[in-house]
């Protein structure tokens, strides 16, 4: 949903960030530039409904890695709103809290285009659409006509404002980084920022 008399335009990028990598940073950078955002807030998942917490790096360390990755970008911020919450982290609930705390901010929720396939099955997608514009990151191997069709379907179901992010696609995955670290291999410079790599090494993560 688009608001009037907005004081700030804020991008929201959530994820486990286990670890954060250039794929996250580059898509956030593209959203920031293409939609003239004031800031992008990175929100590490707290109690994820989709992943076992026992299989994830502790939230505090994921937050530390996120902070290290974004520290050179003055318009990137870390939010621990989900980590600090006692309850399970759901996107709709996070956006409700943010909108209540910052009623004059326009929020833009950054998501992958593959999530369009099952967006209607998320918890309360209608509330997500009520509190944020959806910015969809489209990979190079995706059919743009098919993406447009999926967007039209969602907009027929919910009062959604959906836009596509044109650039920033970087083929990096957290799973690949964890697997490399588990094998004791040096992480590629193109995968994640140097301070994150050093943190992974210093704390012997993913071994």
Q: pLDDT by residue (tens digit) across 130-181?
A: 999 999 999 878 888 999 999 999 999 999 999 999 888 888 999 999 999 9
- pTM for the model: 0.94
- What pLDDT sits at residue 63? 98
DSSP 86: S
| Local confidence band at 109 (pLDDT 50, 70, 90 cut-offs) | very high
Asked whether the beta carbons of 162 and 151 are under 8 A apart, the reply is yes
Written as six digits, the tokens of 84 are 């600090």
Q: H/E element holding 181?
A: helix 174-182
Asked whether the beta carbons of 102 and 3 are under 8 A apart, the reply is no
* Rounded Cα distance, 114 and 88, in Å: 23
Asked whether the beta carbons of 13 and 24 are under 8 A apart, the reply is yes
Q: What is the 3-state secondary structure (H, E, C) of 121-154?
A: HCCCHHHHHHHCEEEEECCCCCCHHHHHHHHHHH
Q: pLDDT by residue (tens digit) across 63-99?
A: 999 999 999 999 999 999 999 998 888 999 999 999 9
Q: What's the half-sphere exposure (Cβ side, CA atoms, 13 Å) at 21?
A: 21
Q: pLDDT by residue (tens digit) across 40-64?
A: 999 999 876 666 566 799 999 999 9
> Domain ranges in the chain?
8-169
* Rounded Cα distance, 166 and 163, in Å: 9
> What CATH class is the domain 8-169?
alpha beta
Identify the sign of the CA torsion 14, 20, 23, 28: positive
What average pLDDT does range 97-111 have in this prediction?
97
Please list the residues that pair with 164 across neighbouring strands.
Answer: 136
């Amino acid at each position: 949903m688009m608001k009037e008399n907005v004081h700030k335009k804020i991008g929201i990028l959530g994820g486990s960030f286990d670890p954060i990598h250039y794929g996250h940073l580059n898509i956030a950078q593209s959203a920031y530039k293409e939609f003239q955002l004031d800031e992008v807030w990175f929100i590490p998942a707290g109690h994820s409904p989709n992943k076992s917490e026992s299989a994830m790096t502790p939230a505090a360390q994921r937050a530390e890695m996120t902070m290290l990755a974004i520290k050179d970008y003055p318009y990137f911020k870390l939010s621990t709103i989900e980590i600090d919450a006692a309850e399970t982290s759901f996107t709709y609930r996070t956006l409700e809290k943010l909108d209540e705390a910052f009623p004059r901010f326009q929020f833009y929720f950054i998501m992958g285009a593959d999530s369009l396939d099952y967006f209607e099955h998320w918890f309360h997608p209608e509330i997500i659409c009520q509190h944020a514009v959806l910015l969809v990151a489209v990979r190079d191997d995706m059919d743009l006509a098919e993406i447009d069709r999926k967007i039209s379907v969602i907009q027929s179901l919910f009062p959604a404002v959906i836009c596509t992010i044109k650039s920033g696609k970087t083929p990096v995955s957290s799973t690949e980084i964890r697997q490399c670290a588990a094998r004791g291999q040096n992480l590629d410079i193109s995968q994640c920022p140097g301070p994150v790599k050093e943190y992974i090494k210093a704390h012997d993560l993913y071994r």
